[in-house]
Structure formats: C-alpha cells, structure tokens
Structure 1
Amino acid sequence: MSISTSGNTAVVTEDCLACKFQRRRCPTDCPFAPYFPHDREQQFKNMRKLFGMVNVIKLIRTLKDPSTKDIAMRTIVVESDMLAKDPVGGCYRIIQELQHQIECKQAELDKIYYTIANCRAQDAHVCKCKCKR
C-alpha cells in the first residue's frame, strides 16, 4: 500500500499484485500495475501459474517499445485466463471456433450472392422478353 500526499489530502493506493508478490513497494512507473491491480488476483495467479513471474519479468525487460510491451502483457493475461478456463484447448480452441464461424458465415454470404445473381439474371430475362413485344 502506497501513500502519496498532494497538498493537504493523502491518497492511499494499493500496490499491484506483482509488486505485492515480490514483497516490494510498487513504483509509480511499475510495468505490471495496469495489468495486475489489486482487484485482479485470479488473473495474476493464472499468469504466475502458466508463465512464472521470473519469465514474465525477463520478457518485459527485453521489450523496448511500450506498445509491444502492452501487446505482450495483454496476450499473457488472455492466454493464461483461457488456459485456466480450458486447460486442454485454451486459446487454440477459441480460435478454431471463430474460424469455423467465419467459414459458416462466408458460405452463407456466398449463397446470398448466388441468389442475388439468379434474381438479377431472371429480371434481365423478363425485361428482354417484355421489350421484344
């Protein structure tokens, strides 16, 4: 728990779970604070169980670009949550389901395009017949 004062008021903030786990004070520029605030304990446990705190720290230190760090951390959080929900399939099963849905919707769209083309062809044929009279 950190206490910062601004003027006459004191603001109490909770340390992030990563700093709390490491038993250190959470700095203001902590790279883990946005992803593991004190109220996301299960996400932190999932990440720690799957990847290990040391591995995640090493990964974050090797990445220089802030947007790359953000993408990596969000990916780690999502992947660990998905594997906690589905230990066998994880993200892969969700990706497969989404690809199947895309294929079904594409087939449905192709069928609609085929129907539209038939309607236009019939309309053109009817129009030609009426114009010849």
Structure 2
Amino acid sequence: MGAGNSPCASCKLLRRRCAKDCIFSPYFPSDDPHKFAIVHKVFGASNISKMLQELPVHQRGDAVSSLVYEANARMRDPVYGCVGAISYLQNQVSQLQMQLALAQAEIFCIQKQSQDQPATDGAVLFLPLIM
C-alpha cells in the first residue's frame, strides 16, 4: 500500500486491490501514475513483476529506474530505444576526439614554428587556426 493507504500506481492502473506485500508499491507510488503506465506499456506488468522478484530487494530500485529510462527511450524511438541514444553519444564522442586531435596537432605545429623561428623584435606571431 502506498502512503495514506492509497493503492500504488500499478494497482490503480490495473484496477486491483493493492496488498501490503505488493511488489510494485515501493517503486511506483500513487502520486506518479505515468511512471508505471509507460513501463507497463513497454514491458507489461507481468514481466516487470517477474524481473523484480528475481532481484534482491536492494537492487530493485535501480532496476526500476533503468526500466523507466528504457521505456521512455523506447517511446521516443520505437526502433532503437536507448541504443539509439547510446550510438548518437558514441558518434559525438568520436567526432570530438577527432577535433581534439586536430587542435592538438595545430598547437604542436605552432609551438614548433615558434621554436624554430624566434621573433627578433619580441613580436608575437599569430597563425590562423584551420578547422
């Protein structure tokens, strides 16, 4: 049972009586019905229940957080789900690593040029950066 003896979001959505030992009530409170609704739509209440029962109690909260994240990702991108977001971020990291390598190479070239040709009058040499 949720706070104030109101049924949890799961029992409310599934229109059943919320027992004291309801596996959903600690993770799907009645004041956040959307959280269970989206997870139920993607995974199904029976599958969620089985997953939670197979886990030790101390891991269930993290599992529910993961299921909510994955369900939201699946709703945004029905084909790839969270894998699409991961791929996008991995591509972004690769692009940024290439940009960083180019910038470091340019810095090295500028430093090398300034060492090879020191300015005689104390003037600073600025070279344009190519991006």
- What's the TM-score once normalised by structure 1's chain length? 0.71
| Offset of residue 24 of structure 1 | 2.7
| Offset of residue 37 of structure 1 | 2.4
CA distance in 1 between partners of 2:77 and 2:98 (Å): 29
Q: Report SS of the residue matched to 1:89.
A: coil
| Offset of residue 89 of structure 1 | 2.2
Q: Report SS of the residue matched to 1:72.
A: helix
Letter of the structure 1 residue corresponding to residue 37 of structure 2: K
Contact 1:82 1:90 survives alignment (8 Å): yes
Q: Which stretches of structure 1, 4 residues or more, deviate above 4 A after TM superposition?
A: none
Q: CA RMSD in A?
A: 2.7
Q: Figure out how many residues of one structure are paired with residues of the other and give that number.
A: 119
1:89 is matched with 80
Which of 9, 14, 20 lines up with 1:17 in the alignment?
9
Which protein has the bigger strand share?
A: 1
Q: Mapping of 1:36-115 within 5 angstroms?
A: 36-64=28-56, 66=58, 68-115=59-106
Q: 1:114 to 1:35 in 2, by over 3 A?
A: farther
| Offset of residue 114 of structure 1 | 0.8
Unaligned runs of 5+ in 1: 4-11
- What's the TM-score once normalised by structure 2's chain length? 0.72
